Amino acid sequence: MSSHAFTFHGLRFEARASGALWWPDGRWLVVADLHFGKSERLARRGGPLLPPYEGLATLERLGSEIATLRPEAVVSLGDGFDDMATIQALDPAVLAELQRMATMRDWFWISGNHDPLGDAKLPGRMLVELPLASVILRHQADPQAGPDISGHFHPVVRLAGERRRAFLLGKDHLILPAFGAYTGGLSCEDASLRRLIPKGIAIACGRRAVALPIGVAPAKGR
């Protein structure tokens, strides 16, 4: 699986094709918007009964990144769980595996809008923000308080006729794609993302990580 290397405010990172961010110097693996328990929450509210395998699927992908990279710390940038009740109702197999992974290394749960702080059943530390050198890791990018690394928006980009999850890299903000299996996407053209990153690079995930410019009209008239 390939990755795309870049520097953001003095820190060297790799955008993994899986949608995870790798900080090789500190051996940190950063993921956003895992949304464990999404299908369970929809069912609880009387919605459709989606295939109940997204926890397994997300965990498998996360597990494979951990096995490959052997990180010393894992950071979840918020919305790790679809809501507080899903933490309680999580598939026992998924919970056990998550606990196993989390006890072997440092694990930081940053709180998101779906999962405000804290549940004792989970190993690891609960935080609102986590500083890394001059950069803040938080759930949602703060236009006034960059540089930051965040998730929340589930950005996607169009490339060669396909919609692909994407990292968005701007001057002050680095926004990660959603890592969870059942997550929708917001186009990088959307106004709320354009406000944060008017111009920059998108790194599309998929079989390979592919970088392309955003916010720049492609040259015409060739």
Contact 77, 149 (CB under 8 A): yes
Contact 36, 58 (CB under 8 A): yes
Q: Examine residue 10 and tell whether it contacts other proteins (CB under 8 A).
A: no
Residues 11-50 that bind other proteins (CB under 8 A): 39-40, 43-50
Q: Which stretch binds other proteins (CB under 8 A): 70-78, 130-138, 142-150, 160-168?
A: 160-168
Residue 147 to residue 64: CA distance in whole angstroms: 29
Contact 170, 196 (CB under 8 A): yes
Q: According to CB under 8 A, which one of 53, 104, 113, 133 is a site residue for other proteins?
A: 53
The single-letter DSSP state of residue 215 is S
Residue 112 to residue 217: CA distance in whole angstroms: 33
Q: Which stretch binds other proteins (CB under 8 A): 18-26, 111-119, 132-140, 153-161?
A: 153-161
Cα-to-chain-centroid distance, residue 188: 15
Residue 12 to residue 25: CA distance in whole angstroms: 7
Binding mask 174-213 for other proteins (x = CB under 8 A): -------xxxxxxx-xx-x--------x--x-xxx-xxxx
The single-letter DSSP state of residue 63 is H
Q: According to CB under 8 A, which one of 25, 120, 144, 218 is a site residue for other proteins?
A: 218
User: Residues 6 or more apart from 147 whose CB is under 8 A from it?
Assistant: 8, 9, 134, 135, 136, 171, 172, 173, 174
Residue whose CB is less far from other proteins, 72 or 190: 190
Q: Examine residue 57 and tell whether it contacts other proteins (CB under 8 A).
A: yes
Residues 112-131 that bind other proteins (CB under 8 A): none
**Residue 208: CB minimum distance to other proteins, A:** 6
Q: Which of 28, 178, 185 is nearest to 105 (CA)?
A: 28
Residue whose CB is less far from other proteins, 10 or 220: 220
Judged by the rule CB under 8 A, the positions of this chain that interact with other proteins are 3-6, 39-40, 43-54, 56-57, 89, 91, 153-154, 158-163, 181-187, 189-190, 192, 201, 204, 206-208, 210-213, 216-220
